Amino acid sequence: MTVDLPDDLLSSLHDLYTHLHAHPELSMQEQETAVLIEERMRGLGYDVFRCGGTGVVATLANGDGPVVGFRADTDGLPVAEDTGLEYSSTARGTLPDGTDVPVMHACGHDTHITAAIGAATLLAERRDAWAGTVVFLFQPGEETAAGAAAMVADGLWDRAPRPEVVYGQHVWPGLTGTIDITTGPAMSFSDSFLVTVRGRGGHGSRPEDTIDPVLLACHMVVRLQSLISREVPPQQAAVITVATFHAGLKENIIPASAQFTINMRNLDADVRDKLLRRLREVLDAEAAGSGAPAPDVADLSSFPRLVNDPDETGRVVGVLRGVLGKDAVREAPAVLGSEDFGALPDAIGVPGVYWFFGGMPAELVDSGEPVPTNHSPHFAPVMEPTLSTGVRAAYEAIMARVGTGS
Ligand SMILES: [Zn+2]
Ligand SMILES: [Zn+2]
């Protein structure tokens, strides 16, 4: 059943990949990417419709049999590419707040689009080898957690055939040609907030007349870390990161306010509920302790947890080991990265399976040097065997789940 990829398909996928890589678009602005995907999928004989703005759904109905979904995310990031690749991006984009930024496929979503189109091509060309329906979900806006929700809100599952399972995959800094897959909870909840701390400004020489929001916000940041170390069971994975902190304009002016962001990740729903509650209690109590009003806490983003269904994951592991070799497919522990993939199967209560495929050459992985990760300006997956592994993993997982052909 396993398939070698024809040379002409591979070279057309390489052209597609270098084009996508050179032309990334920001989250929920993937206009040209969506048009390109629509044209390619229509050309292969798929029924295509837009969903959630720049999302594209492409369906191939091929007789009676299971319905299988496959998701590929499509957005780039505001990163200035510094890979030195000849097909580097020089694209620019505009963030929702109006800021002009460089854009790069720094998370490798261009490999996801390419692999999905490669698998879609094989499925279209080999219709006599399988029976059922495949639904490709080209999802915008993964990086902002907006895209899957936008597709669901746009009636995705009323308009597309409902699959029995949804698959997805992501390139990462592992060894090219290999797959990592996790059974059960695989990627974390992620909740982010913007905290605005209000004090009372004044002269640096007269702190007694002020409420210093910088000192207060510092107490908040330190105190938040004690939630992780003292209030989460040590067996549970959880992390809080404060990665932005802004206040003040001059060294002798105590400002009136300070702002910082919180990113909170965990794998357990009870831990998440407790931390969400305690986070607000700690912020309010610290403010009260300084005589300041309760801070404003604005939601920035919220990613669902990603859970890989055990039965479906076991099936995928078996299939991929058969195709790529036993050693090339590792069962890996959960990561605290986040994804909105889970929102697609979760919306209709069907299982999902999501795996990582490596993008880095052995000489880099084995060098002992730091390997550039997703979101780095240096993140540069090698084309092969990365792309062919992504194509084969997608195709074989789908083929093993649909019905057998005539
Ligand atoms: Zn990313
Ligand atoms: Zn990504």
- pLDDT per residue as tens digits for the range 277-333: 999 999 999 999 999 999 999 999 999 999 999 999 999 999 999 999 999 999 999
What is the token pair recorded at 274? 């407790």
Q: Judge whether 74 and 37 are in contact, CB under 8 Å.
A: yes
pLDDT of residue 406: 64
What is the 107 CA–ligand 1 centroid distance (Å)?
4
In this predicted structure, the answer to whether residue 4 has a pLDDT above a threshold of 80 is no
Pick the CATH number of 189-303 from 3.40.50.2000, 3.90.105.20, 3.30.70.360, 3.40.50.720: 3.30.70.360
Q: What is the mean pLDDT of the chain?
A: 96
Q: Which two tokens stand for residue 62?
A: 């091929």
- Residues 6 or more apart whose CB falls under 8 angstroms from that of 257 comprise 196, 197, 198, 199, 213, 247
For 36, the token pair is 């390109």
The CATH superfamily of 7-187+305-404 is Zn peptidases (3.40.630.10)
d(CA 338, ligand 1 centre) in Å: 8
Please tell me the distance between residue 63's alpha carbon and the centre of ligand 1 in angstroms.
36
255: tokens are 């400002």
pLDDT value, residue 330: 97
Both tokens assigned to 289: 């302790």
Measure 356 CA to ligand 2 centroid, in angstroms: 10
pLDDT digits (tens, 9 = 90+) for 107-166: 999 999 999 999 999 999 999 999 999 999 999 999 999 999 999 999 999 999 999 999
Output helix, strand, coil percentages for the chain, rounded to the nearest 5. Answer: 35, 30, 35
Query: What average pLDDT does the segment 84-90 reach?
Result: 98
pLDDT on residue 247: 98
Rg of the chain on CA atoms, in Å: 23
- The type of residue at 291 is G
Domain ranges of the chain: 7-187+305-404, 189-303
Exposed, middle or buried by CB within 10 Å (0-12, 13-18, 19+), for 250? exposed
pLDDT of residue 405: 74
**CA dist 343 → 50, 185, 304, 375 (Å):** 18, 14, 7, 22
Q: Which ligand is nearest to the CA of 74?
A: 2
Preceding omega of 385 cis (within 30 degrees of 0)? yes
Helix axis angle, 7-22 relative to 386-399, nearest 10°? 110
Per-residue model confidence (pLDDT) at position 196: 98
Looking at the predicted structure, is the pLDDT value of residue 42 above 90?
A: yes
pLDDT at site 235? 94
Q: Ligand 1 centre from 202 Cα, in Å?
A: 41
Summarize pLDDT for 237-283 with one digit per residue, the tens: 999 999 999 999 999 999 999 999 999 999 999 999 999 999 999 99
- Count CA within 13 A, CB hemisphere, residue 234: 0
What does the pLDDT read at residue 87?
Answer: 98
Task: Please say if the pLDDT value at position 174 is more than 80.
Answer: yes
Distance 373 CA to ligand 1 centre (A): 10
DSSP output for 107-165: T-HHHHHHHHHHHHHHHHHTGGGEEEEEEEEEE--TTTT-HHHHHHHTTHHHHSPPPSE
Q: Which residues keep their CB under 5 angstroms from ion ligand 2?
A: 107
pLDDT at 1: 45
256's CB contacts (< 8 A; 6+ apart) are 198, 199, 200, 201, 213
- Helix residue spans in 126-264 (DSSP H): 147-153, 156-159, 213-231
In 3-state terms, what secondary structure has residue 96?
coil
The 10 Å Cβ neighbour count of residue 326 is: 10
